[in-house]
Amino acid sequence: MEIERALQQLESLQKKLYAYRCADSSLYLDAVTTAPSDTSEGRGVAMSILAGESQKLMTSPETKALLDELSARAGELDLVHRREVEELRRSCEQLTRIPADEYMAYKELCNRADDIWHKAKAEDDFALFCPVLQELVDYNRRFAGYYDASKAPYDALLNEYERGVDRKMLDSFFATLREGLVPLIHKIGEKPQIDDSFLHQEYPAAQQKAFADYLMEVMGLDRSHCGLGETEHPFTLEFNNKDVRITTNYDEHNVASSMYSVLHEGGHALYELGIRDDLQYTCLAGGVSMGVHESQSRFYENLIGRSRPFVEAIYPKVQEFFPRQLGGVSAEQFYRAVNKAQPSLIRTEADELTYCLHVMVRYEIEKQLIGGTLEAKDVPAVWAKLYKEYLGIEVPNDRDGCLQDSHWSGGAFGYFPSYALGSAYGAQMLRRMEQDVDVRGAAAKGDLTPITAWLREKVHQYGGLMEPADVVKNACGDFSAEDYIQYLTRKYTELYGL
């Protein structure tokens, strides 16, 4: 085949895959924002057919032949095409190895598991969820073999969310974090706690919405390309680099909740909006990995959004939105309140300092579940033990314990560590960024332009063009947890006068 013709086919294949992704995203977005309550069945039929068509396309003999040919002629391709072929071939081979009926059965199980998990969580009934959790674990152990039989199962799963990461790397990473953070948390526990009660007055949703619009403006998010919606759980969804949606949830008794979720999701959105145009409609459009994505979201949420200069810069405006609630509260009080560190039960509500310990609990449990050394039925006990050990708190029930997150019921094992990795990547990027950009100065002016420009140049633009580890390395050198620990130690030592 002429190389031009093959490249045309490659483009056409990827555009079709893009179209199926858009369809899926649109139906999903509708489901969680607008759709009437009892409409999931018909939508499920459509979504599963479209997913099947996309998978069929990805694994067809024509696709395989095309990718094999282009792979054999990789020397004739430019970098972008070479990477596309690599990525698509990996997906094609992986999907081909999963028997179609097993894949369908697993998808069906995930749907069912989600329903059961909702019910089990609502009723605080782990016994209800336990058998399905074990089934999910068993499937994932088998699927890990399809993904990469040369790796131990949990390593193969980790690799799906953050390529290049394995237990060895994470064991060392988390051990370093624990050594650095647990003593710090203990010391804080002995200090008088920060008063954050004013964050929990009544904050009407309408004003919070206007405030969210303001925050998006401060972030430099172009509203003609980035929408803001409302869902139970905030998320970011991208159609392409000109069409990204973020959502938030307005808790009328916690102004920080929506505020920091907008900054968080806005960070994800800036990443997607910053990806190069020439990668659009290809498999390289979109952020490269969960970990790198979290590095961006947590950068804006914490490293900038919870920094003193940024809080001071926007605080007069914050007071304008909530004069009744915050008129008598100083910027410093507000800064301290949004940084209050206190061991707690719920990961998504955890503060910047203790957050990673929540992740570690899940990592240790997943590692054992997928490794086959822990059964689903024993998860609650291990959960309680680890929360006591890492965070020093008792877990009163499973609803606020091992049933709190939706990840496992959705079939995602190996996903959690990317939250912690992202936080660490971000701190390392900040350290490197400070050599080029007056970060504190920019934050103090409430002008994030130079910060976003740096991240766009070093991280965003590449999309999936480089491996996650190479993106990190390119931005800030070989990965290490040190900058992250130093950052937290300095911040909290000052904050609590340790």
| Contacting positions for its own copies (CB under 8 A) | 15-16, 18-20, 22-23, 26-27, 29-30, 33-39, 41-43, 45-47, 49-50, 53, 223-227, 229, 239-240, 242-243, 245, 280-281
The alpha carbons of the chain give a radius of gyration, in whole angstroms, of 23
Residue 182 has which token pair? Answer: 């647990």
- Least distance (Å) from its own copies to the CB of residue 47? 8
Cα distances (Å, whole numbers) of residue 65 to 52, 89, 160, 243, 291 = 20, 10, 24, 33, 32
Q: Rounded to whole angstroms, how far apart are CA atoms 336 and 341? A: 10
What do you get for the CA distance between the two ends of the chain, in Å?
Answer: 69
Nearest residue (CB) to its own copies, 36 versus 192: 36
Nearest residue (CB) to its own copies, 89 versus 242: 242
Nearest residue (CB) to its own copies, 25 versus 344: 25
- Least distance (Å) from its own copies to the CB of residue 42? 4
- Least distance (Å) from its own copies to the CB of residue 50? 5
Residue 61 has which token pair? Answer: 């003999």
Give yes or no for a contact between 170 and 158, defined as CB atoms under 8 angstroms apart: yes
Which amino acid is it at 387?
Answer: Y
Nearest residue (CB) to its own copies, 245 versus 431: 245
* Ligand-binding site membership of 294 (annotated): yes
Q: Rounded to whole angstroms, how far apart are CA atoms 292 and 469? A: 9
Q: Rounded to whole angstroms, how far apart are CA atoms 107 and 24? A: 15
344 C-beta neighbours (distance < 10 Å), count = 16
- Least distance (Å) from its own copies to the CB of residue 137? 31
3-state SS assignment for residue 246: strand
Q: Rounded to whole angstroms, how far apart are CA atoms 233 and 31? A: 13
* Ligand-binding site membership of 264 (annotated): yes
- Least distance (Å) from its own copies to the CB of residue 447? 23
- Beta-sheet pairing, 236-240 with 243-248: antiparallel
Nearest residue (CB) to its own copies, 34 versus 197: 34
Nearest residue (CB) to its own copies, 222 versus 470: 222
Phi, psi of 267 (to 5 degrees): -65, -45
Q: Which of 290, 246, 282 is nearest to 425 (CA)?
A: 290
Give yes or no for a contact between 261 and 234, defined as CB atoms under 8 angstroms apart: yes
Give yes or no for a contact between 158 and 165, defined as CB atoms under 8 angstroms apart: yes
Residue 489 has which token pair? Answer: 């130690």
Active-site positions read 265
Contacts of 318 (CB under 8 A, 6+ apart): 211, 326, 334
* Ligand-binding site membership of 375 (annotated): no
- Least distance (Å) from its own copies to the CB of residue 351? 32
Give yes or no for a contact between 301 and 263, defined as CB atoms under 8 angstroms apart: yes
- Least distance (Å) from its own copies to the CB of residue 338? 29
Q: Rounded to whole angstroms, how far apart are CA atoms 334 and 337? A: 5
Question: Assign residue 124 a region: left if phi > 0, alpha if psi is -120 to 50, beta otherwise?
Answer: left
Give yes or no for a contact between 431 and 483, defined as CB atoms under 8 angstroms apart: yes
Nearest residue (CB) to its own copies, 207 versus 489: 207
- Least distance (Å) from its own copies to the CB of residue 53? 7
Nearest residue (CB) to its own copies, 227 versus 392: 227
Give yes or no for a contact between 236 and 296, defined as CB atoms under 8 angstroms apart: no
Give yes or no for a contact between 342 and 193, defined as CB atoms under 8 angstroms apart: yes
Residue set of the binding site for Zn(2+): 264, 268, 294
Residue set of the binding site: 264, 268, 294
